[in-house]
Amino acid sequence: MEQIVTIELFGQSYTFKTDSEVFKAEEVADYLVKEVMKVERQHSVKTLEVTKFTILILAALNIANENYEIKRNDSEFLKNISQRLNRIICTLDENIV
């Protein structure tokens, strides 16, 4: 079921439809807004004018980097668990025979 979610960035409202639960979509949208605000704060003290587009790209890169790190860590964790389980299985097999 489609739901409508609205976020505000740079003083402008953006409305979009989502197929996921509204609560999840709002959490994701809020996360984006917070990341944009964080990047905006980081670059507000610099003398060069940073465009809204640049801020959005930097926020997107930060979020993509977080996602990449989480996936990499999960992959390493699963690999580690798999190796440990295989050793346990081998040990059990040796002791059963």
**pLDDT tens per residue across span 1-30:** 678 888 899 889 999 888 877 788 889 889
Cβ neighbours around 67 below 10 Å, total: 10
Cα–Cα distances (Å) from 7 to 19, 23, 69, in that order, read: 16, 13, 26
**pLDDT tens per residue across span 37-95:** 999 888 876 656 788 899 999 999 999 999 999 999 999 999 999 999 999 999 999 88
Strand partners, 14: 7
Taking only Cα atoms into account, the Rg of the chain, rounded to an integer number of angstroms, comes to 22
Calpha distance 70→30 (Å, rounded): 19
What single-letter DSSP state applies at residue 21? -
Contact by Cβ (8 Å): 5, 18 = yes
Q: Please give the pLDDT value at position 47.
A: 56
